[in-house]
Amino acid sequence: MRLSALLTRLIVFVAAAFLSVAAAQTTVSVVEERSVLAVQETLVDQGYEWATVLGDGLQVILEGEAPTEAVRFRAISAAGGMVDASRVIDNLSVTDSEKITPPEFAIEILRNNSGVSLIGLIPASTDRDALAARITDIADGQPVTDLLEVADYPTPPTWRDAVAYSLRALEMLNKSKISVNADRVIVNAISDSPEEKRQLETALARNTPEGVRLAVNISAPRPVISPFTTRFILDENGARFDACTADTSEAVSQIIAAASEAGFRERGNCTLALGAPSRTWGEAVAQSIAAVDNMGGGTITVSDTDVTLIAPVGTGQATFDNIVGRLENSLPDAFALTAELPELPTATTDELPQFTATLSPEGAVQLRGRVPDDITNMVVENYANARFGQRTITMGTRIAEGLPSGWSVRVLAGIEALSELSNGAVIVEPDRLLVRGNTGNEDASATISRLLIDKLGQTADFEINVTYVEELDPIAGLPTPEECIAQINAITDGRKITFDPGSADLTADTQPVVDDIAEILQKCGDLRIRVSGFTDSQGREIMNQQLSQDRADAVLTALRARRVPVSTFESIGFGEENPIADNGTEEGRERNRRIEFSLILPEPTTEETSTLDELAQDPPAPAVEDDSATESE
């Protein structure tokens, strides 16, 4: 009996142990399965599809090939976030990098009053000494901080062109930050005036390297304008601004929006400037323009805080009073309104006095019309000489009595207005002043308008009809590189650059020729030009080559002494190569001894080279020549 109870207990114990082991195995299997699933889902969600997750009891094993060591570490960390990190077994490998990716070569250049600093990474093939010498020359005595590092990797094909361009830009810009890499140059700079900004933008836009993207951002200080003036006219000729000035971009938007409602359809050209009398300038001008629109025409002049509205002739009194009253009550507090309703003109048989000033395209000035006395006549002539310089002044004035009050002021204001034009005319009458002509200054109309308002008052009746001509603009009208070379060739065709026999010294007769070439190049801006030297065939070939090189260098030096920017020029001596005449005659040898100017053209791209190769293999049919044409020596 006792034996049977003991056996029973033993069987129960064994069964319990078996069940415990089975339950433990089942629990481990469930935990393993869920852990593997959770880790696998996490890795897939985070973009590590290349990793495989295996379970071994409570351990989670990661297998697979990670692209980099950093990615391998992040995958392990992701797995450790789902299960205890001690359970994660790392069996991952990292892909072998057959070739390390070359670093990006880049330079940050900063130039200001403290000097020039450079930081970045450049190829080992860079001529460090030449680069340092060029930067030192540009710094012009200011300190240079060189923090450039070097890496021995292949140089990108456009790297040298990008760096050369950035150094040319650095030479022009005293306050700048230039960012350079192989395919991009970013130029940020500060100019001293809007005029200098336009000049720099024009110069930087020339000779942009092929395959290099360029971004230029040059800021200029806003001009200070006094009086702060906007003048808007709406008449039978349409809506237009004689002058438009604003203190903020928001004010410009307000003004142009109001003008557009009134029928203004041209490109808005409001000058952002300092000197606004109130922060509500844009609101005041917009309301004034709206009043002119509601009246169906007229002129509105806002000068500082004074607003002057001149209604069209024939406007009804009730309409005039209604619109003026609404404008007067809606204007911001700082602004005061003066409104004028012109009377209908009455017929008269009296001849109106008149003064006319004209400026020809050649610079000749003619002054005709009436002046009140001899003193005024002398003042008018002297003032014209002061405004127009050494130009020819022809006086056709005459003394007359009974001229209106303020006539002398109107005449002098008209002469000053004419001096803002390249050519044109000014007609001065008792009640009206007309200015018309051409100019190379986009802001000439606004300048003349402010001038006349300042001299004659806001109620003055004047009309400005000025046309901007790009060819007259000293900046936008710069000649093209091809035109510059053509002008130089025209000079050297008639007058050669000559040297003392057997030397590289320019003759005295050549100095005026170089002066004329320098004058052209100073107007042409930043060009890439090659100065080539050639000799005749007399003497040894090596000596001729060296002599031609020395002569080309001498011309470059002479141009540099005349303040021509020659940093983008190169001089090459070709010796007796490429003769243009027979070396067997004295006349031919004289022609072969020469200096030539040409543009440095960019190297052809791979596509262009392939096209040239195809043409070389399969040349086109030759053109039929005219046997009657002969070449003259």
Note whether 303 and 413 are same-domain residues.
Answer: no
Q: What integer pLDDT is reported at residue 608 of this predicted model?
A: 41
- CATH number of the structural domain spanning residue 113: 3.40.1520.20
Let me know if residue 348 belongs to a domain.
no
Q: Which of 358, 541, 518, 346 is nearest to 438 (CA)?
A: 358
Note whether 450 and 522 are same-domain residues.
Answer: no
Q: What integer pLDDT is reported at residue 250 of this predicted model?
A: 92
Note whether 148 and 265 are same-domain residues.
Answer: no
What DSSP string describes 555-577?
HHHHHHHTT---TT-EEEE-TT-
- Amino acid making up residue 73: F
Q: What integer pLDDT is reported at residue 619 of this predicted model?
A: 44
Residue 368 DSSP SS3: strand
Q: What integer pLDDT is reported at residue 119 of this predicted model?
A: 93
Note whether 569 and 548 are same-domain residues.
Answer: yes
Question: Which residues is 184 bridged to in the sheet?
Answer: 181, 213
- CATH number of the structural domain spanning residue 307: 3.40.1520
Note whether 547 and 452 are same-domain residues.
Answer: no
Contact present, 576 and 535 (Cβ < 8 Å): yes
Note whether 457 and 517 are same-domain residues.
Answer: no
Let me know if residue 349 belongs to a domain.
no
Q: What is the pLDDT of residues 165-204, one digit of tens each?
A: 898 889 888 889 999 988 899 999 988 887 788 778 877 8
pLDDT along the chain (633 residues), means of 10: 65 69 62 78 84 79 83 84 80 68 86 91 88 87 90 88 88 90 90 81 77 85 87 92 91 93 86 90 95 93 93 89 91 92 67 88 89 91 86 85 90 93 92 91 88 88 88 71 85 85 86 89 80 89 90 91 83 90 87 88 49 43 37 32
- CATH number of the structural domain spanning residue 63: 3.30.1340.30
Let me know if residue 285 belongs to a domain.
yes
CA distance 66 to 44: 13
Let me know if residue 436 belongs to a domain.
yes
Note whether 309 and 327 are same-domain residues.
Answer: yes
Note whether 171 and 198 are same-domain residues.
Answer: yes
- CATH number of the structural domain spanning residue 491: 3.30.1330.60
- Amino acid making up residue 92: L
What DSSP string describes 406-468?
THHHHHHHHHHHHTTSSEEEEEE-SS-EEEEEEES-TTHHHHHHHHHHHHH-TT--EEEEEEE
Let me know if residue 631 belongs to a domain.
no
Q: What integer pLDDT is reported at residue 479 of this predicted model?
A: 74
Q: What integer pLDDT is reported at residue 23 of this predicted model?
A: 60
Note whether 88 and 133 are same-domain residues.
Answer: no
Note whether 512 and 586 are same-domain residues.
Answer: yes
Q: What integer pLDDT is reported at residue 283 of this predicted model?
A: 94
Number of domains within the chain? 5
Note whether 246 and 316 are same-domain residues.
Answer: yes
Note whether 495 and 419 are same-domain residues.
Answer: no
Let me know if residue 145 belongs to a domain.
yes
Q: What integer pLDDT is reported at residue 554 of this predicted model?
A: 92
Let me know if residue 114 belongs to a domain.
yes
pTM here is: 0.56
Let me know if residue 184 belongs to a domain.
yes
CA distance 156 to 183: 9
Q: Show the domain range for 213.
A: 106-219
